[in-house]
Chain A
Amino acid sequence: DQQVKQNSPSLSVQEGRISILNCDYTNSMFDYFLWYKKYPAEGPTFLISISSIKDKNEDGRFTVFLNKSAKHLSLHIVPSQPGDSAVYFCAASGSNSGYALNFGKGTSLLVTP
Chain B
Amino acid sequence: AAGVIQSPRHLIKEKRETATLKCYPIPRHDTVYWYQQGPGQDPQFLISFYEKMQSDKGSIPDRFSAQQFSDYHSELNMSSLELGDSALYFCASSRRQGGGTDTQYFGPGTRLTVL
Measuring CB to CB, which residues of chain A are less than 8 angstroms from any residue of chain B? 32, 34, 36, 41-46, 49, 51, 89, 93, 95, 97-106
CB of A100 within 8 A of CB of B103, answer no
Instruction: Name the one of B90, B105, B109, B111 contacting A46, with C-beta atoms under 8 angstroms.
Output: B105
Residue of B nearest to A89 (CB): B42
Q: Interface stretch among B13-21, B65-73, B77-85, B94-102?
A: B94-102
Does the CB pair B103–A43 fall under 8 Å?
no
Which 9 pairs show the lowest CB-CB distances between chains A and B?
A98-B56, A43-B106, A103-B42, A100-B45, A99-B102, A44-B106, A43-B108, A105-B42, A32-B101
Residue B48 lies at the interface, judged by CB distance under 8 Å to chain A = yes
Check B101 against A100 for contact (C-beta < 8 Å). Answer: no
Interface of B toward A, CB cutoff 8 Å: 4, 6, 31, 33, 35, 41-45, 48, 55-56, 58, 88, 90, 92, 94, 96, 101-109, 111
| Bound CA span A107–B103, Å | 21
Contacts of B35 in A (CB 8 A): 101
Query: Which residues does chain A contribute within 8 Å of B109, judged by CB atoms?
Result: 41-43
Contact A101 B45 (CB under 8 A): yes
CA distance A46 to B101 in the complex (A): 14
CB closest residue in chain B, given A50: B101
CB-defined contacts of A89 to chain B, threshold 8 Å: 42-43
